[in-house]
Every structure is written in C-alpha cells, then in structure tokens.
C-alpha cells in the first residue's frame, strides 16, 4: 500500500515522527536548558533514541521543514520567541564512551569535560584541553572547539554523522576541512559519534594537568555565572596578534550592561546573565548597543556564540500562516484601530503570510460566521477599547478555538477596568496614585479629592473621557452633564511632571519614552495629543535619572505579570520630578492592546531596540494562543 504524501504542516510533522522511538515534545521550553538561561520554546523537540532513530526521522522529514541540532546549549543564544520547526537534542543514546588502546570513541552528547576525565582515567594524554571547554562533543566537532593550545582538529580521527536526508556517513579528519573555530560539516548534518586520539601516559600526570586547567579557568573566567563562554572569536592571527578580550577591554566595555545582561568584569569576552536578562538583552549588548560604544566588537570578526533567529529574527524564516486581522470595532477608538489593523496587515503580507482583514462590527453572528469561513491559523487582534480590549473578543476566540495575539480574557478585562487594575497593582506593591471610585453624580456635590485631581472613565482607553479638575475651576457640573461612560468614575490625585511609557514584550521591558504634548490646549497626553499629527513629541530613551528609568522598566514588567498579560503591553506612568523632593514615579495603567501603527509608541520602542515593525508583528503572531 502506498502512503499518500504529507501535504499540510501538521501532516508533515506527524509523518516525520511516525515510528520514532525517541521522545517528542511540542512547545518544549528551551531557556532552562541553555547555560544563559534564556530563550523561548521549540515548536517540536525530538530526543532520538539512537542514531538509527534520528536517521529514520530525517528520512521521513519534508525538506520544507526546518530542523536544527542542539547539544549542551553551552555556547548558544536562543531568541526569546523560540525556534520554529524541529529541534533535535541528543540524549542518552549518544552518551557512550568506549576506551581503545590509543583513543576514545565517544557519543556526540558526551560533555567535553567528561571525555577529558575518561581519557585521564584510561591513561590517554592529549585530550586535557577538553576540560576547559563547556559543551558536548557534537558541538565541539562542528565548531572545532579549542583551548589551551589544542583543538578538535588536532585529535580527531573520524566523525560519524547523519545528513539532513537521513544518510549515515563516516568522515575522516581531512574530509571535515577544519579551520579556526569551524568545520566543513555538510549543511544540516548532525554529529552522532567521533573518535579522538590519545597518547598513553601516567594517569596521575594527566589528571594534574586537568586540575591546572580548571584552576586557571576558575581564576580567569566567570564559570559560576550564567554565561555561554567566550563570545567573540579572536581576530585572525594574520590580521592581529591581540585577543578579542584585549580589544574589548581597551574600548572600555568591561562591565557594560544592557538590562540584566553584562560584559563580564572578570573576563570581558564573556557575556553574562545577572539573573533576569533576556536573549534580546544579550544580543543587544553584543551586537547592537556595544558596537556603537565599543570598536572592539566591530573589530572582532564574528560572534562565537551561535545565535538562532526565531520570532524576531529574519521573519521570512518563519512558517507562513493564514492570519485574520481584526480591526475597527464599535468603540470610541475605532479610527485608531483601523489604522493599526491596516499597518499590521501590510507588514504581515510583506513577510509572505496570507492575511485577511475583518472589521468587527456590532453584529456578532456575522463576525463569527466570517471567522469560521476564513479559518485563520491566528487572529491578530488590532481592536482597541470596548469589545476588543476588555476580554469580550478574547472570550469569543477562546470559544471558537482560534489562537489570537495579546492578552487573554482575564488580563484584558482586568486591565480595561481601571479600578480592578488598580487593586491588582496595589496587591503587587506597585506605586499608584491616591484615589477611589465614585458615583459620577457625587461630583456635583463637591470635590471627592483635594484639587487638582483627575476624573477617568473606569472602562475606556486612549484617555477618552479623562478630565482634570484644578483648584477654583468650575467644571464639575459640566463633566457630569457630558458624562456618557456609565454610573461610576475613578478619581485620582493629579500627578504633576511628565508622562513616560514603557513597552513590554513577553517578559522584557523595551525602553522608556518621554512624551510631551505639543501645541495649545493639551494639559496632559489626551486623545488628540496621542493621535493627531504633531500632537506630541517622543524622546527615547527618556532623558531621566537612570535609577528612575530602571524603576520604570521594572514596574512595567511587574505590572505585566500582575495582570497576567501575554504578548505585548505598554505601561503608562507619571513622573513627578518638578520639586526639590525625590522624583516620584506613579503607574497609571497597563494597555494590553497598544497602538500598532508604524509610529505608535510600542513599535517605536521596538525599533529603538532593533526590532523592525514587521518583526514585531510577526513576533506577536508567533506568541498567539488560546488563553482560556
């Protein structure tokens, strides 16, 4: 019987794993497996039982699907969005070590240090340098790892590989065409076993040299930190005799930080995660922020760390999807939503996705029918305000089983309800203004708070309906007469100073933007200042005290977590730095559906961090899920 060819993406994956004996995990978390402790999930993680299991899977795997091998993840940065396709990680079936008279035959999953120890116990010298290299043998062969005057090319007899199409080959040393920190492995090939030469010698003397290497490494490198080893290759000896760390140090980059990523003080060719760094922080430090301030990074020819580029990388590498962009809607922010949706649709089409736009009107039956007919893989929610931002559309999409961007029902509803969000922020210990909920009719009788204070609708966005009541101003009755936002309002003390905002992607704050309304008639960052051309001036990063800037970044992430947000959010603040007292930072609100025109605040901050508008849109699509 002839098996029909797999046609859809799911069919291809199922076909590849049919009969596999190893472990298959969907959406497998990778960050905890990396030495940097950063990175998103693998779409599929396959841990083959042995080389035959790996070869069989690759033979069945469509050439259209991406596949990549990961070893010990000691010398790798995986981007925060994760990896598309299939990630192969060698496990127990690739960890055997066989001792021979003049060498070892080792599996690709064996740690380099473990191989060095086995060689010492067997009385085989020449492999001591492996004790100073974090990682596994498969990665060591691929990159011709080396240290302390030796490298893999100097000790390898042969390597057995499985090619991308599932063939098993044995390649000799010459076939691998080793160079400085590189090999000539065929594209897509994976190392499964290798033979390393050794010279008989007294085991105690070999062990002593290994101890010396470990002591030297401990003294000179941040081995106890979350790091990926040396980051930059040394310059070609024909170009410069100086080491990469010398060039970096000379440029004054020792200790340089980006978020919680830092150039190590101990050895400045190491990037380290101080605790809460993201992959983007590390990449920015090593490849974007640092070059502007550190010529050594430009002079070092290439990154030693392999950096994978999922979901924020070159987005054309992602699997294309059928996407429906929901836009328009029935709220007071309809015009803004149409602008956001149109920009998003164009950006996603530029990446090769099949994109439909859908104006979400008041007829729910029509909306559901259209979504059912379009059968999108993902809905990009570009709605703002009521129905689109308050958990309503999120509940419908959960019910229909359609993955969607941004936050789910609970986070959306809580963030939209300013009183509920305020309670969540207080419970999390975040700084909020003094205030309370009132019946709007109370405003006629007198001031609910000492003036100046702010009157806000409880469930509106984009500063719709917000008024400031100043001392002596006779505006309370007018506010009540014009009020169309329900029986209650939130009143809060007015915070003088400036408006700043922080975008959050995933679990990482981007930067701080200082927002100044321009022109006349803008007491604060109101609807017109936000959306009219020339209505405001944005300065990023904000020129404020670094301690306050870091506090804003930290509070934005904490607020994102307190509400249970997903995807992207934007936290808005007031910063009172007008007097002689210490500056005071107050969290105003979290926007779970930030504006998504190309010049909106979140895309503007993403661009500052090196993430283009199409990449941002694509990242949000990759984060889409049903969140019930």
Distance CA 12, CA 315 (A): 21
Query: If you write DSSP's letter for every residue of 65-125 in order, what string do you get?
Result: S-EEEE-S-SSEEE-TT-EEEEEEE--GGG--EEEETTEEEEETTSBHHHHHHHHHHTTEE
Pairing of strands 103-107, 156-162: unpaired
Helices (H), 122-243: 137-143, 203-220
Distance CA 167, CA 59 (A): 8
Distance CA 253, CA 563 (A): 37
Reference 256, options 286, 230, 225, 231; nearest CA is 286
> Known catalytic residue: 230?
yes
Pairing of strands 41-47, 23-29: antiparallel
Distance CA 287, CA 107 (A): 34
Distance CA 436, CA 539 (A): 32
Q: Residue 303's beta-bridge partner residues?
A: 232
Q: Which residues contact 283 (CB under 8 A, 6 or more apart)?
A: 77, 79, 307
**Residue 474 CA from chain centroid, whole number:** 50
3-state SS class at 303: strand
DSSP state letter for 252: T
Distance CA 469, CA 80 (A): 44
Helices (H), 257-333: 279-284, 290-293, 295-299
Packing angle of the helix pair 9-17, 51-60 (nearest 10 deg)? 150
Q: Of 37, 60, 181, 254, which is the active-site residue?
A: 181
Pairing of strands 322-327, 378-381: parallel
Neighbour count for residue 140 (Cβ, 10 Å)? 29
Element at 453 (helix H, strand E): strand 453-457
> Known catalytic residue: 571?
no
Query: If you write DSSP's letter for every residue of 479-503 in order, what string do you get?
Result: HHHH--S-SEEEEEE---SEEEEEE
130 contacts 140 by C-beta, under 8 angstroms: yes
Distance CA 331, CA 338 (A): 11
By the 10 Å C-beta count (0-12 exposed, 13-18 middle, 19+ buried), 583 is classed as middle
Q: Of 74, 136, 183, 230, which is the active-site residue?
A: 230
The residues that are catalytic are 181, 230
């Amino acid at each position: 019987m002839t098996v029909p060819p797999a046609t859809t993406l799911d069919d291809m994956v199922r076909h590849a794993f049919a009969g596999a004996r190893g472990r298959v995990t969907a959406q497998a978390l990778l960050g905890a497996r990396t030495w940097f402790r950063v990175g998103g999930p693998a779409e599929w993680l396959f841990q083959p039982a042995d080389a035959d299991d790996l070869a069989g899977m690759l033979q069945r795997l469509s050439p259209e699907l991406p596949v990549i091998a990961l070893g010990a993840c000691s010398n790798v940065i995986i981007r925060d969005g994760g990896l598309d396709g299939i990630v192969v990680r060698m496990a127990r079936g690739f960890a055997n070590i066989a001792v021979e008279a003049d060498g070892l035959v080792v599996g690709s999953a064996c740690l380099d240090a473990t191989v060095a120890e086995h060689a010492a116990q067997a009385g085989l010298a020449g492999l001591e340098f492996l004790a100073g290299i974090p990682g596994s043998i498969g990665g060591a062969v691929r990159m011709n790892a080396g240290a302390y005057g030796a490298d893999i090319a100097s000790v390898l007899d042969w390597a057995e590989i499985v090619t991308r199409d599932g063939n098993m080959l044995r390649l000799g040393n010459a076939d691998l065409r080793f160079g400085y920190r590189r090999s000539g492995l065929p594209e897509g090939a994976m190392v499964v076993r290798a033979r390393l030469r050794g010279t008989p010698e007294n085991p105690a003397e070999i062990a002593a040299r290994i101890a010396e290497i470990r002591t030297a490494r401990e003294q000179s490198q941040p081995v106890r930190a979350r790091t990926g080893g040396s980051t930059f290759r040394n310059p070609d000896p024909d170009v410069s005799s100086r080491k990469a760390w010398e060039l970096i140090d000379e440029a004054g980059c020792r200790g340089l930080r980006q978020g919680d990523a830092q150039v190590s003080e101990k050895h400045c060719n190491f990037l380290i995660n101080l605790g809460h760094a993201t992959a983007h922080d590390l990449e920015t430090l090593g490849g974007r922020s640092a070059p502007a301030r550190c010529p050594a990074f430009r002079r070092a020819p290439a990154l030693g760390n392999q950096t994978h580029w999922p979901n924020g990388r070159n987005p054309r590498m992602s699997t294309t999807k059928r996407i429906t962009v929901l836009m328009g809607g029935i709220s007071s922010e309809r015009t803004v939503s149409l602008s956001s949706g149109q920009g998003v649709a164009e950006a996603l089409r530029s990446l090769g996705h099949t994109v439909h736009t859908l104006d979400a009107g008041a007829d729910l039956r029509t909306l559901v029918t259209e979504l059912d007919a379009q059968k999108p893989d993902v809905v990009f929610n570009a709605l703002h305000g009521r129905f689109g931002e308050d958990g309503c559309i999120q509940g419908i999409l959960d019910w229909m089983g359609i993955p969607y961007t941004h936050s789910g029902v609970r986070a959306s509803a809580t963030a939209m309800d300013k009183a509920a969000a305020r309670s969540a922020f207080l419970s999390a210990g975040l700084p909020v203004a003094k205030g309370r909920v009132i019946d709007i009719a109370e405003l006629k009788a007198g001031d609910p708070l000492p003036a100046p204070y702010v009157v806000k609708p409880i469930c509106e966005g984009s500063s719709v309906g917000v008024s400031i009541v100043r001392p002596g101003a006779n505006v309370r009755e007018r506010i009540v007469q014009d009020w169309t936002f329900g029986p209650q309002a939130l009143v809060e003390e007015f915070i003088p100073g400036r408006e700043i905002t922080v975008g959050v992607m995933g679990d990482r704050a981007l930067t701080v933007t200082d927002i100044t309304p321009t022109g006349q008639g803008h007491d604060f960052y109101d609807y017109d200042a936000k959306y009219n051309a020339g209505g405001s001036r944005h300065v990023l990063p904000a020129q404020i005290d670094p301690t306050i800037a870091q506090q804003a970044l930290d509070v934005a992430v904490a607020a994102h977590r307190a509400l249970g947000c997903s995807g992207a959010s934007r936290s808005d603040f007031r910063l009172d730095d007008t007097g002689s007292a210490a500056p005071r930072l107050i969290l105003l609100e979290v926007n779970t559906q930030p504006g998504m025109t190309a010049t909106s605040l979140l895309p503007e901050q993403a661009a500052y961090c090196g993430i283009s508008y199409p990449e941002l849109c694509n990242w949000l699509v990759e984060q889409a899920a049903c969140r019930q």
